């Protein structure tokens, strides 16, 4: 199975394979840690997670590098306002970022690269550009990339900037540039600001240079795939290409993937519009981490995703259906043997699943394949036409589904617990949904004990007590399902 993935550079679906025949080398633009990540950020990281997980499922190892931008204008400004160093300021957001990744079950890239830890590499890249005549130093000590040095500029975003370079309005604070479109490689130190002493002077990196320098550091001058949100296509990625390819005379990344935006209620999410959400906000409202994950991955990455609270509820219910199905398979007692229909259904679902993801990561279609299989199997079980070998054929399909989607196995308790702990510490207990508080007040052991008591009561035909327990648990969000194979409980 070869993944065909849309390539922004070529404008078509291209096979995505490691150039060296071994691991796929990919670079993904990570967060700027000036605040908590929001669900828009995580939609991008989640879709990239789908990509890397699918690659691995199909037997392609990945070497995935992600940067953390821990120095930029906002960070400098905010940390100064807070009266702390930028390292101190970013530490909590870096930590929060990893917590959020874990909550959403986004796999850690093989390599995390922090901008502040790669300043020398950036400086030497600027030097290299300077030697090639593509970088120049302005009077204040800042360095700029000379756009005219890279005639192919615009090839990624398909922009033709040739006609509008000169004579264009120049911002007042950019008077030192030769041409309005030239972009900063290195910003000269300003009094009181964090800066580094390097071969190219005292200062701090421009935004784009970090990705070029770190990608080359860990993946080489030329690598397989570069990904990020659609907004990064221009100018960020365009600038990365310009500076990298000018420096190395090699293609930077062969393949470019861009995840489209998440909208909220049909509009761009922004703090000023009041439609801005972080994963933590949603967890505090009582939504499950798995529901957030599924909602954000259920619409294929090349379509905008319109986030609504309905979409989370839908995802919650869809996951519940799959979990119930898997539990039924695992707990059920099936006679030995197999049914031809089920064997075929399992095989077909697996093929459809593979083809869907292999075709530009069509998660919606992959999901459909699994639900179709679930219905067919449930029907067969209802009719007693389901056998032990059928279960053995289907469980691996679910396993492979979860290897990428990772929502069936219930790991929602920990993120919920952590979100509560965070709320307490951040003074946001007022935002915690009552249902979440209630659920958190009841541990698994307590639930098990009540379930056991109810079973005893039922055997004694004491239905009044049994119903009382059911009611008590329901009030704390725990739902019981009786079946001939025992009682199953779940948190709503």
Partner RNA sequence: GGCGCGGUACCCAAGUGGUAAGGGAGAGGUCUGCAAAACCUUUAUGCGCCGGUUCGAUCCCGGCCCGCGCCUCCA
Q: 69 to 98, contacts with RNA by CB under 7 A?
A: 72, 74
Q: State in angstroms the smallest separation of the CB of 429 from RNA.
A: 27
277 and 269 in contact (C-beta within 8 Å)? yes
Report the residue number, 232 or 282, with the smaller CB distance to RNA.
Answer: 232
With binding defined as CB under 7 A, does residue 308 bind RNA? yes
With binding defined as CB under 7 A, does residue 41 bind RNA? yes
381 and 330 in contact (C-beta within 8 Å)? no
* Residue among 14, 107, 110, 314 that touches RNA (CB under 7 A): 314
With binding defined as CB under 7 A, does residue 231 bind RNA? yes
* Residue among 5, 9, 16, 43 that touches RNA (CB under 7 A): 43
Written as six digits, the tokens of 413 are: 């308790």
* Residue among 362, 388, 402, 426 that touches RNA (CB under 7 A): 362
* Residue among 375, 424, 443, 485 that touches RNA (CB under 7 A): 375
Element (H, E) at 135: strand 135-137
Q: State in angstroms the smallest separation of the CB of 474 from RNA.
A: 7
Report the residue number, 73 or 95, with the smaller CB distance to RNA.
Answer: 73
What values do phi and psi take at 111, rounded to 5? Answer: -135, 125
- The partner residues of 491 in beta bridges, in order of sequence, read 478
Report the residue number, 158 or 250, with the smaller CB distance to RNA.
Answer: 158
Select from 14-22, 216-224, 266-274, 422-430 the region that touches RNA (CB under 7 A): 266-274
With binding defined as CB under 7 A, does residue 201 bind RNA? no
Of residues 315-334, which lie at the interface with RNA (CB under 7 A)? Answer: 317-318, 321, 324-325, 328
Query: 207-210 long-range CB contacts below 8 Å, 24 or more apart?
Result: 207/69, 207/72, 207/236, 208/183, 208/235, 208/236, 208/239, 208/240, 208/243, 209/122, 209/125, 209/126, 209/185, 209/243, 210/67, 210/69, 210/115, 210/118, 210/122
Report the residue number, 84 or 331, with the smaller CB distance to RNA.
Answer: 331
* Residue among 378, 400, 435, 442 that touches RNA (CB under 7 A): 378
With binding defined as CB under 7 A, does residue 467 bind RNA? yes
Select from 51-59, 82-90, 138-146, 263-271 the region that touches RNA (CB under 7 A): 263-271
Report the residue number, 262 or 423, with the smaller CB distance to RNA.
Answer: 262
Report the residue number, 24 or 299, with the smaller CB distance to RNA.
Answer: 299
Written as six digits, the tokens of 253 are: 């990344």
With binding defined as CB under 7 A, does residue 230 bind RNA? yes
Residues with Cβ within 8 Å of 316's Cβ and at least 6 positions away in sequence, in order, are 287, 288, 291
Residues with Cβ within 8 Å of 89's Cβ and at least 6 positions away in sequence, in order, are 75, 78, 79, 82
> Would you mind telling me the total number of residues written for the chain in this entry?
492
With binding defined as CB under 7 A, does residue 269 bind RNA? yes
- The partner residues of 307 in beta bridges, in order of sequence, read 264
Select from 114-122, 137-145, 241-249, 294-302 the region that touches RNA (CB under 7 A): 294-302
- CA 274 to CA 326: how far, in whole Å? 39
Q: What angle do CA 43, 273, 430 make, to 5 degrees?
A: 80
Select from 113-121, 185-193, 217-225, 361-369 the region that touches RNA (CB under 7 A): 361-369
With binding defined as CB under 7 A, does residue 286 bind RNA? no
* Residue among 106, 241, 259, 329 that touches RNA (CB under 7 A): 259
- CA 282 to CA 43: how far, in whole Å? 14
With binding defined as CB under 7 A, does residue 466 bind RNA? yes
With binding defined as CB under 7 A, does residue 364 bind RNA? yes
With binding defined as CB under 7 A, does residue 175 bind RNA? no
With binding defined as CB under 7 A, does residue 410 bind RNA? no
Q: State in angstroms the smallest separation of the CB of 358 from RNA.
A: 12
- CA 9 to CA 12: how far, in whole Å? 8
With binding defined as CB under 7 A, does residue 155 bind RNA? no
Q: In this structure, what is the dihedral angle of CA atoms 100, 103, 104, 109, given to the nearest 10 degrees?
A: 70
- CA 75 to CA 86: how far, in whole Å? 7
Q: Total number of residues binding RNA (CB under 7 A)?
A: 71
Q: State in angstroms the smallest separation of the CB of 22 from RNA.
A: 27
Q: Which of 378, 373, 356 is nearest to 365 (CA)?
A: 356
- CA 94 to CA 106: how far, in whole Å? 15
Q: How many helices (H) and strands (E) does the chain have?
A: 16, 17
Report the residue number, 441 or 459, with the smaller CB distance to RNA.
Answer: 459
Select from 105-113, 121-129, 367-375, 410-418 the region that touches RNA (CB under 7 A): 367-375
Of residues 21-40, which lie at the interface with RNA (CB under 7 A)? Answer: 29, 31-32, 38, 40
* Residue among 154, 229, 358, 415 that touches RNA (CB under 7 A): 229
With binding defined as CB under 7 A, does residue 106 bind RNA? no
9 and 69 in contact (C-beta within 8 Å)? no
3-state DSSP percent of the chain in helix, strand and coil, to 5: 50, 15, 30
Report the residue number, 64 or 432, with the smaller CB distance to RNA.
Answer: 64
């Amino acid at each position: 199975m070869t993944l065909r993935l849309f390539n922004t550079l070529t404008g078509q679906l291209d096979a995505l394979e490691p150039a060296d025949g071994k691991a796929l080398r990919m670079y993904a633009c990570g967060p700027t840690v000036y605040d908590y990540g929001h669900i828009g950020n995580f939609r991008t990281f989640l879709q990239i997670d789908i990509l890397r997980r699918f690659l691995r499922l199909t037997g392609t190892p990945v070497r995935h590098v992600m940067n953390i931008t821990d120095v930029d204008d906002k960070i400098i400004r905010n940390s100064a306002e807070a009266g702390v160093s930028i390292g101190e300021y970013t530490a909590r957001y870096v930590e929060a970022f990893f917590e959020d990744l874990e909550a959403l079950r986004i796999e850690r890239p093989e390599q995390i690269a922090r901008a502040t830890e790669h300043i020398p590499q950036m400086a030497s890249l600027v030097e290299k550009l300077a030697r090639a005549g593509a970088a120049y130093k302005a009077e204040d000590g800042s360095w700029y990339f000379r756009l005219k040095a890279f005639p192919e500029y615009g090839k990624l975003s398909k922009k033709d900037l040739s006609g509008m370079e000169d004579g264009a309005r120049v911002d007042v604070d950019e008077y030192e540039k030769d041409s309005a479109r030239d972009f900063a490689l290195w910003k000269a130190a300003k009094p009181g600001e964090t800066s580094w002493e390097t071969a190219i002077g005292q200062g701090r990196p421009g935004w784009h240079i970090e990705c070029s320098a770190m990608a080359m550091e860990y993946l080489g001058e030329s690598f397989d795939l570069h990904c990020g949100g659609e907004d990064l296509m221009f100018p960020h990625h365009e600038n990365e290409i310009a500076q990298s390819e000018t420096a190395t005379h090699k293609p930077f990344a062969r393949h470019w993937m861009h995840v489209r935006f998440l909208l909220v209620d049909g509009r761009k999410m922004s703090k000023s519009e009041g439609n801005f959400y972080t994963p933590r906000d949603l967890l505090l409202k009582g939504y499950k981490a798995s529901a957030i994950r599924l909602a954000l991955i259920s619409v294929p990455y090349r379509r905008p995703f319109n986030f609504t609270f309905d979409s989370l509820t839908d995802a919650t219910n869809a996951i519940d259906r799959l979990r119930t199905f898997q539990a039924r398979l695992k707990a059920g007692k099936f006679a030995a043997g197999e049914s031809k229909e089920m064997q075929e259904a399992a095989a077909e679902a697996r093929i459809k699943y593979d083809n869907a993801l292999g075709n530009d990561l069509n998660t919606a279609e992959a999901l459909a394949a699994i639900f179709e299989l679930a219905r067919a199997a449930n029907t067969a079980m209802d009719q007693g036409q389901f056998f032990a070998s059928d279960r053995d054929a289907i469980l691996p399909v679910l396993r492979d589904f979860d290897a990428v989607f990772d929502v069936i196995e219930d790991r929602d308790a920990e993120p919920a617990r952590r979100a509560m702990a965070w709320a307490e510490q951040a003074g946001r207990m007022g935002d915690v949904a009552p249902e979440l508080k209630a659920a958190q007040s009841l541990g698994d052991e307590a639930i098990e004990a009540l379930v056991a008591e109810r079973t005893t009561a039922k055997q004694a035909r004491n239905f009044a007590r049994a119903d009382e327990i059911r009611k008590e648990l329901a009030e704390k969000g725990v739902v019981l399902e009786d079946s001939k194979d025992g009682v199953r409980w779940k948190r709503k």
